[in-house]
């Protein structure tokens, strides 16, 4: 009797189980794959990097309970993406955010401010020309087309992909702040000391136009090294410096700044005599990279009317961003 009941239950339940739909995949990717930074008061965030391995990426609307409102420049640079789904919460996609990928499908919301070089294949121009409409955009045979709903991409006529010099919406401005640490080594120093090493802290505020960044940075910290106050006596030198500079960065590959400051130092000679000095200086930096990660050279000229030092300038290399 029991066997018959079990048999009947199996016959009854099996069709129900077979007809049940398989669980649908998650709507968004794992939020732990994304690197974020807070914006403003810290209630919202923007994505600054990606640690995942997916090629078809679905960005969450919230990460750590903070709405995602922006995607920082080069956040998804050269990650092998083929498609991306951007949530409706995003309102700004910065310069080169998705450059270096072969993205042929983009799902995006309405009225997203998108830099002209945020994507490849001229997507930003097409998106702006079509009124920043929400939908899924498909790139095929050199053309972008809009797929407003689910289903296969339309086969109708598209609009040729273009990358104009000034696409609508590509000139959005933003102000970025940053803090970086640097270490400089004086290769040829005719200043008050051979400054090895010369660590510094840089705090900057830059206006980002999409093609270049322009702003003002403050810098300063200290130095320690060998001292050559004159030809007859040597020792070691230490002290601190501070100043400010005007900085320009072009396409995140080349930078230039010029600034001025004050250096206060002390040197102790072999004869145990100590002398202090206070000099103004001007400095020029040429850098390969951006404001947060670069290598470069620096030239510093000291305004020195004292007879205690025969030195006048320093030339060296500088690493910023670690």
Query: Helix %, strand %, coil % for the chain, to 5?
Result: 10, 50, 40
SS3 127: helix
Q: Of 96, 128, 160, at which residue does a domain stop?
A: 160
Residue 15, in any domain of the structure: no
Residue after which a domain boundary falls, among 97, 132, 160: 160
| Claim to verify: residue 197 and residue 155 sit in the same structural domain | no
Does any domain span residue 133? yes
Residue 221 and residue 199 in contact, taking contact as beta carbons nearer than 8 Å: yes
Least Cα distance to 84 among 48, 115, 60 occurs for 60
The reply to whether 231 falls in a domain is yes
Rounded-to-integer distance, Cα 104 and Cα 123, Å: 9
**Cα-Cα-Cα-Cα dihedral of 102, 107, 113, 116, to 10°?**
20
Domain containing residue 252: 174-320
**270 domain-assigned:** yes
Let me know whether 40 and 64 are in one domain: yes
Could you tell me if 37 and 179 are in contact, meaning their C-beta atoms sit under 8 angstroms apart?
no
Q: Quick check: is 6 in a domain?
A: no
Q: Which residues contact 228 (CB under 8 A, 6 or more apart)?
A: 193, 194, 234, 311
Query: What's the pLDDT at 198?
Result: 82
Q: Do you find a cis peptide bond into 75, omega within 30 degrees of 0? A: no
CA distance 61 to 274: 62
Contact 249, 203 (CB under 8 A): no
Query: Which of 160, 185, 209 is the last residue in one of the domains?
Result: 160
pLDDT at 152: 37
> In sequence order, what are the residues at sequence separation of 6 or more whose Cβ sits closer than 8 angstroms to the Cβ of residue 298?
184, 283, 284, 285, 286, 314, 315, 316, 317, 318
State whether 110 and 192 are in the same domain. no
The runs of H, that is alpha helices, within the chain are: 2-19, 123-129
Per-block mean pLDDT, blocks of 10 residues, the chain (322 long):
50 47 64 92 91 94 93 93 94 93 94 92 91 92 78 38 39 70 77 71 80 84 74 75 90 85 82 75 90 87 65 82 76
Write out the two tokens for 292. Answer: 């947060």
93/195 same-domain check: no
Whether 199 and 247 map to the same domain: the answer is yes
At 40 the pLDDT is: 82
The whole-number pLDDT of residue 231 equals: 53
Q: What is the pLDDT of residue 214?
A: 87
Any domain includes 2: no
User: Do residue 127 and residue 201 come from a single domain?
Assistant: no
User: Is residue 83 domain-shared with residue 110, that is, in the same domain?
Assistant: yes
Q: Are residues 156 and 183 in the same domain?
A: no
pLDDT at 169 (0 to 100): 39
pLDDT of residue 1: 58
CATH number at residue 297: 2.40.160
Same-domain status, 148 and 32: yes
Task: Tell me, yes or no, whether 252 and 300 share the same domain.
Answer: yes
**What's the total number of domains in the chain?**
2
CATH number of the structural domain spanning residue 83: 3.80.10.10
Assess whether 201 and 288 both reside in one domain.
yes
């Amino acid at each position: 009797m029991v066997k018959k009941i079990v048999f009947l239950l199996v016959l009854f339940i099996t069709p129900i189980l077979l007809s049940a739909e398989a669980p649908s995949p998650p709507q968004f990717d794992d939020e732990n794959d994304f690197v974020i930074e807070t914006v403003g008061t810290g209630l919202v965030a923007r994505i600054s990097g990606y640690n995942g391995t997916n090629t078809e990426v679905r960005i969450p609307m919230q990460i750590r309970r903070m709405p995602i409102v922006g995607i920082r420049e080069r956040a998804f640079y050269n990650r092998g993406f083929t498609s991306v789904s951007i949530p409706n919460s995003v309102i700004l996609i910065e310069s080169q955010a998705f450059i270096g990928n072969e993205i042929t499908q983009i799902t995006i919301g309405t009225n997203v401010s998108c830099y002209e070089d945020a994507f490849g294949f001229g997507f930003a121009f097409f998106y702006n020309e079509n009124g920043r409409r929400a939908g899924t955009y498909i790139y095929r045979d050199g053309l972008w087309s809009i797929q407003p709903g689910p289903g296969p991409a339309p086969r109708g006529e598209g609009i040729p992909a273009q990358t104009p010099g000034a696409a609508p919406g590509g000139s959005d401005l933003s102000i970025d702040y940053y803090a970086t640490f640097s270490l400089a080594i004086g290769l040829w120093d005719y200043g008050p000391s051979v400054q090895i090493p010369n660590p510094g802290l840089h705090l900057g505020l830059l206006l980002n136009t999409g093609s270049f960044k322009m702003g003002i940075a403050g810098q300063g910290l200290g130095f320690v090294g060998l001292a050559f106050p004159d030809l007859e006596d040597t020792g070691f030198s230490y002290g601190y410096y501070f100043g400010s500079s005007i900085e320009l960065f072009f396409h995140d590959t080349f930078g230039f700044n010029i600034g001025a400051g004050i250096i206060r130092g002390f040197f102790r000679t072999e004869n145990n005599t100590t002398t202090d000095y206070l000099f103004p200086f001007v400095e020029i930096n040429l850098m390969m990279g951006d404001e947060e990660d670069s290598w470069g050279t620096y030239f510093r000229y000291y305004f020195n009317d004292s007879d205690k030092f025969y030195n006048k300038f320093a030339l060296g290399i500088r690493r910023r961003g670690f």
